């Protein structure tokens, strides 16, 4: 789930993009693929987003660390794209956008621990856990994001959240080193892990033995619930607003009469009012205009100021 696996500093964008020569210098010796001026819409669950100056998929953890070190030395902004819970604005992202799709190894460690690289999809990891008879990830059933994104966002559902299973993370740091952080060294907030400057390249998950049949039953039941209550078949970025309590954000939006409300190609889901869906050709500007409309209407009706859970990144048109 997020967009920026770890906290990375970046210089202020000029809005003009960075020179091709500076970007190529940062890419020197990197073994993965690099594509310049690549539209990012196909890499997000929202199917919205302008271009990256350069989109890089490092070959492995060491390659990601090398790229990060060189970009940091040159003061080139770095953004790690998880693809969910993010809205990329229409002019895209300046600097280097990193995709970790090649980091997809999973290995079993002692004590019922799974180590998963950051690019592993949560559905893939859940299937592996079921095969091994390991419980602890059922809460993530239906989450389309990656391990790295779920760590950074402390992704969660009503059944649990990432911090419940996490025993440690592996990160690339600005000096190019790869180091492990224990669970005790990481703070957590609602939908956020408090990490040092760096990029999450892997995570250790402490699971426990359980009946394969029972794990499958819980996963299937929760998938049925999510399919019945959330617009999983339409392009979206997950929940848009944080739940303010005691009423959920979805309840407040619905009470304001906004289910089905549209701006351009963006629409408040008729199935779950805390989701905005892309009905076909929504722009980031459409989504942001709809978000403002929802916030204003909910404030007028209920007095609650809804705060974004969705991460908005990049440059506006």
Query: The dihedral of CA 31, 16, 79, 317: what is its sign?
Result: negative
List, in sequence order, every residue forming a beta bridge with 257; answer none if it has no partner.
none
- Which candidate in 150, 161, 239, 261 is catalytic? 239
Residue with tokens 């391990």: 147
Whether the ω angle into residue 200 lies within 30 degrees of 0, i.e. cis, is: no
Which tokens go with 198?
């760096």
Whether the ω angle into residue 246 lies within 30 degrees of 0, i.e. cis, is: yes
Residue with tokens 């007028």: 300
Residue with tokens 């799709």: 101
Decide if 250 contacts 238 (C-beta within 8 A).
no
Q: What is the distance between the alpha carbons of residues 174 and 68, in angstroms, rounded to a whole number? A: 6
Decide if 277 contacts 269 (C-beta within 8 A).
yes
Please indicate whether residue 239 is annotated as part of the active site: yes
- Which candidate in 191, 204, 261, 297 is catalytic? 191
Nearest to 142 by CA among 1, 274, 279, 40: 1
So which residues are the catalytic ones? 191, 239, 309
């Amino acid at each position: 789930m997020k967009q920026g696996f770890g906290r990375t500093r970046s210089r202020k964008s000029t809005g003009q993009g960075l020179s091709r020569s500076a970007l190529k210098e940062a890419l020197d010796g990197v073994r993965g693929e690099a594509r310049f001026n690549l539209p990012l819409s196909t890499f997000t669950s929202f199917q919205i987003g302008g271009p990256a100056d350069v989109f890089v998929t490092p070959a492995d953890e060491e390659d990601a660390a090398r790229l990060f070190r060189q970009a940091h030395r040159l003061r080139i902004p770095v953004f790690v794209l998880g693809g969910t819970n993010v809205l990329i604005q229409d002019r895209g992202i300046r600097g280097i956008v990193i995709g970790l799709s090649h980091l997809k190894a999973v290995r079993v460690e002692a004590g019922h621990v799974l180590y998963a690289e950051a690019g592993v999809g949560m559905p893939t990891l859940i299937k592996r856990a079921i095969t091994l008879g390991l419980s602890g990830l059922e809460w993530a059933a239906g989450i389309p994001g990656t391990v790295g994104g779920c760590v950074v966002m402390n992704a969660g559902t009503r059944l649990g959240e990432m911090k419940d299973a996490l025993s440690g993370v592996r990160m690339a740091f600005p000096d190019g080193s790869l180091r492990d952080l224990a669970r005790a060294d990481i703070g957590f907030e609602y939908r956020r892990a408090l990490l040092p400057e760096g990029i999450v390249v892997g995570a250790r998950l402490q699971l426990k033995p359980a009946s394969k049949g029972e794990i499958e039953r819980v996963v299937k039941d929760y998938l049925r619930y999510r399919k019945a209550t959330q617009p999983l078949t339409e392009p979206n970025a997950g929940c848009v607003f944080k739940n303010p309590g005691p009423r959920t954000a979805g309840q407040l939006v619905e009470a304001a009469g906004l289910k089905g409300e549209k701006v351009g190609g963006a629409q408040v889901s008729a199935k779950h009012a805390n989701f905005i869906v892309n009905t076909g050709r929504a722009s980031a500007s459409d989504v942001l205009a709809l978000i403002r409309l929802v916030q204003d209407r909910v404030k007028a009706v209920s007095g609650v100021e809804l705060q974004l859970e969705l991460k908005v990144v990049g440059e506006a048109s």
